[in-house]
Structure 1
Amino acid sequence: MAEIFTRKFSEVSGGRFDPQFYMQIFENNLSKIKQKKHEKIGNLVELSTQGYVFEKDKKQNIFQYIEISNIDIENGHIRDVSLIAEKDAPSRARLLVKQDDILVSATRPNRGAIAIVPKNLDGAVASTGFIVIRKVRDKILKQYLAIILKTNISLLQFQQRSTGGNYPAITQDDFKKCLIPLPPLSTQQHIIDLMDKAYKAKKEKENKAKELLDSIDSYLLEELGIILSLRANNTLDSRIYTQKISALSGSRFDANYHQKYYRDLEKSLHCSPYPLVNLASLINNFKKGIEVGSSEYSQNKEIPFIRVSDITNNGIDFDNVQKFISASLFENLKAYKPKQNELLYSKDGTVGICLEADVSRDYIISGGILRLELKAEVDKDFLCFLLGSYMINVFANRVSIGAVIKHLNIGEFLNLKIPLPPLAIQTQIANRLKSSKFQALSLEKEAKEILNKAKI
């Protein structure tokens, strides 16, 4: 529902005239900050626009490139940085960053993509989508600043001052106008210590959760009597192999498809004491999702439009869905809403994510996701764990095509052989795995709560 409110002309005269800027949530946030000692960011920091110098005669020079997507918004770490040659550098790769710089995403800044540059990225190049804080005044600690910028009191101001449609952004000038609480240095250090302690406790919980989730695959394979062969080291000798021409007749000719590792995996399946059946024999029907087109996306966040990026083996991340459709369009596309006794399986991009369909709310799925309607002789949870396992993921990616973006060959996927124990044993295995998964997800939830409490 739209928010209707009034403001005095004196409050907007000489300032912004877009209604969003004056929403009550933003007014309340600023009022809360002003109750305590505070300061404008611009009075506390020195921003850097230092650029990377491209050498025309050395286009083969390689540098580390930091994009906004490399920032882990949970913990502020910079991950999976690309190595790029100067000649291949995108136009946004321009900002030279140094150790201890604070990077703040200027695009969709309310997401909180904020990080301190570590020693190993000193001299890296960052996207121009960042605001770079190089120096801070004596009355503020840099780590405290990085922490406070990731809290709601800062993120709400970033949202308030951002402009633009699908990708709102904040300018450096507006960023410098944002207010932050400025307690004594001793209090700032205490906050830093509390957050460090919270991050360590969070990491311990996450490690325990990961151990439990990793054990799911091991237990599943053990119960099915399958011992996986090890993948060979990625040496030249291990990547050279031969195949009879008769094996290629009527089959694929790409070398990856015929690796010995896949044949060894198929042999491992035959070690199971349970019969191998085609996946298709367990499925009543399968349906693809739909692509509605960007013109149909709704800004009102009415009905979630679920894409592959919104799902994991643990479910749909409704809290972070980016695309929505209108309620009226949903009425016309209800056929694409998942139903009871269906599994969702990703077939495009990241192939092999499997989860139970959530029927508790309205949404539709994109064309990159399959709906698998199951027969009665298979336990839904058992099959969900099996299809989401490492072993089936390897087979699914084997029968996928595409160099940059993978697309599952649905026919070959449905012809995959899988071990099928009696229904009672399927249920027994599934119950054990559900228990482990529940414990793991509970630990992950506790880890997030530890951090959120520390931020409060």
Structure 2
Amino acid sequence: MAEIFIRKFSEVSGGRFDPEFYIGQTIQIATYPLKNFVKIKSGKRIPKGRSYANTTTTYKYLRVDDLDSEILEIDIDKLKSIDKDIFTLLERYEIHNDEVALSIAGTIGKVFIFHNTTSNRVILTENCVKLQAQDNLLPKFLSLILKTDFLQSQMKRQYIQTTIPKLAIERIKELQIPSIPPLSTQQHIIDLMDKAYKAKQEKENKAKELLDSIDSYLLEELGIILPLRANNTLDSRIYTQKISALSGSRFDANYHQKYYRDLEKSLLSSPYPLVNLASLINNFKKGIEVGSSEYSQNKEIPFIRVSDITNNGIDFDNVQKFISASLFENLKAYKPKQNELLYSKDGTVGICLEADVSRDYIISGGILRLELKAEVDKDFLCFLLGSYMINVFANRVSIGAVIKHLNIGEFLNLKIPLPPLAIQTQIANRLKSSKFQALSLEKEAKEILNKAKIDVETLLLSAGGGNPCI
């Protein structure tokens, strides 16, 4: 919905004229510029013509994609490696313990307090800055301030609206924060958030256990035991194959790995008949690519891409692309319907979910709509297509070194075990119960953290002498 408001000319004269900058800008508390409390230093890009190391090294590169404001730790060992000579060139941009990383390009406002207990040394990307807290400010408390809606909304108003959004360092320095409470109060607030993060993590771990059990139960009921996968050593990846076995088949080495043959044998061990997926599908339809010129800035109708879906549903809250209502009227044929499954065939291959018909949206060309026949339980097939085993088979027949593409013919030719309908329904009901419990736990985890954030922001703002109008 459009927001209409007015500002006096004297308020905008000599400043910015884009309306987004002034939305909800009024602040009713005493605030101070961030530069009074921190030192701000930039990161650096890898030199032009150079790239990440081909082997694992003890020199790492921290990117925006590696940051997550909702987690407390990063696995430093899993960061991209760089060569020693590149590290030497960029050494002044190394990030150290208790420095706060803040993303300033692309995704604005990701916040992470850096902890490194390994022997690795880490360079910070040019798309972030690092903030060093002064003596009267605890680093972890600084990270909590930056995560508040009070600061995040300021960052949103301050960044430059370009193809890749950017937040200038000079504008970061002028971000307004409430007065800093005594160190004891800062620690109390940190303890509140640590307790919330711990409770959130416990519920998420329980949810993960339930979701992980879905695959195990499904395979057990289908009488399938997965083969062990060899360690990813050089010896395990070298094997021979007769030319007769390759004739009329694919020549890429990955396709002919022994693990796939073992997996096929496991599939054959199921007591239930194997059928081609095509025999269970009445009809299938692809989504559509509307083109970037058709994207709407008004967030009217969601344009759902593969990055917006998981086996648990569509993440409508974080959809990035939208189309206009008028364009949607012309593309209604691409809106999923009742009792359809959605399946990702491009990029991340193998995501399967039930179509959500509670709202209007259309799907991208990387997603298939599957209309099923009566002899298959929709929920059973959804769990099966989203399982690890079928995912392995689907990715095996996909093509593309960088972005995978699953040929629809290859997809429809996949073989799956098919129990009688009554057993399908029995299995599906058990799995739906586990999934519901898991999603409920995930929801509770989010609510715990959100409540803690609200409580903390209230404490921060009350210390500043009032409430924000943001």
One-letter amino acid of the structure 1 residue matched with residue 10 of structure 2: S
Tell me by how many angstroms 1:259 deviates: 1.3
Q: Post-superposition shift, 1:401?
A: 0.8
TM-score computed with the length of structure 2 as normaliser:
0.89
Q: CA deviation at 1:18?
A: 2.2
- Is the alpha carbon distance of 1:433 and 1:258 closer, same or farther for their aligned partners in structure 2, counting shifts above 3 Å? same
SS in 1 for 2:288: coil
The counterpart of 1:67, out of the listed 40, 63, 67, is: 63
Are residues 417 and 158 of structure 1, via their aligned partners in 2, closer, same or farther at CA, if it must alter by over 3 Å? same
Higher RCO structure, 1 or 2 (CA under 8 Å, sep 6+): 2
TM-superposed CA distance for 1:69, in Å, is 1.1
CA contact (8 A) 1:109 1:158 kept: no
1:164 aligns with 2:157: no
CA contact (8 A) 1:78 1:115 kept: no
Offset at residue 51 of structure 1 (A): 5.7
Contact 2:287/2:334 (<8 A) preserved: yes
Aligned to 2:315: 317
CA deviation after TM superposition for structure 1 residue 382, in Å:
0.3
Q: What is the rounded CA distance, in whole Å, between the counterparts of 1:53 and 1:70 in structure 2?
A: 16
Report if the CA contact (8 A) 1:301-1:323 is conserved.
yes
Question: How many pairs were matched up?
Answer: 445
Aligned equivalents of 1:279 and 1:109: distance in 2?
40
> Structure 1 22/51 Cα, relative in aligned 2: closer, same or farther at 3 Å?
closer
Trace 1:53-452 onto structure 2 (pairs within 5 A).
Answer: 63-75=59-71, 77-78=73-74, 80-85=78-83, 95-107=93-105, 112-119=109-116, 120=118, 123-133=121-131, 135-181=132-178, 182-452=180-450
Aligned 8 A contact 1:76 1:113 in 2:
no
Provide the rounded CA distance (Å) in 2 between the counterparts of 1:330 and 1:73. Answer: 34
| Alpha-carbon shift at residue 113 of structure 1 (Å) | 1.0
CA RMSD of aligned residues (A): 2.6
Q: Deviations over 1:202-230 (max 9, x none)?
A: 11111111100000000000001111111
SS at match of 1:286: strand
Secondary structure at 1:115's aligned position in 2?
strand
Q: CA deviation at 1:40?
A: 1.6
Q: In the aligned structure 2, how far is the partner of 1:106 from the partner of 1:16? A: 20
Structure 2 residue aligned with 1:48, among 41, 53, 61? 41
Question: Does structure 2 retain, via aligned residues, the 8 Å contact 1:348–1:407?
Answer: yes
Q: Is the 8 A contact 1:60 1:87 kept in 2?
A: no
Gaps of 5+ in 1: none
**Deviation at residue 50 of structure 1 after TM alignment:** 6.9
Does the CA-based 8 Å contact 2:62-2:125 persist in structure 1?
A: yes
Equivalent residue number for residue 6 of structure 2: 6
- The alpha carbon displacement at 1:372 in A equals 1.1
Unaligned 5+ residue runs, structure 2? 455-470
Among all aligned residue pairs of Structure 1 and Structure 2, give the percentage whose two residues are the same amino acid. Answer: 71
Q: Is the 8 A contact 1:93 1:127 kept in 2?
A: no
Query: Contact between 2:203 and 2:441, CA under 8 Å: does it hold in 1?
Result: yes
- In structure 2, how many angstroms separate the alpha carbons of the residues matched to 1:341 and 1:92? 55
Assess if the C-alpha contact under 8 Å between 2:64 and 2:107 holds in 1.
no
Normalising by the residue count of structure 1, what TM-score does the alignment of the two structures yield?
Answer: 0.91
The alignment partner of 1:284 has SS state of strand
Name the SS of the counterpart of 2:338 in structure 1: coil
SS at match of 1:154: helix
Contact 1:109–1:170 (8 Å) recurs in 2: no
1:55-114 per-residue CA deviation (whole Å, 9 max, x = no partner) reads x99x9796311111111132254454211347899x99994322221111112565x411
Bigger drift between 138-147 and 243-252 goes to: 243-252
User: Match of 2:247, as an amino acid?
Assistant: S
| More displaced stretch, 62-71 vs 387-396 | 62-71
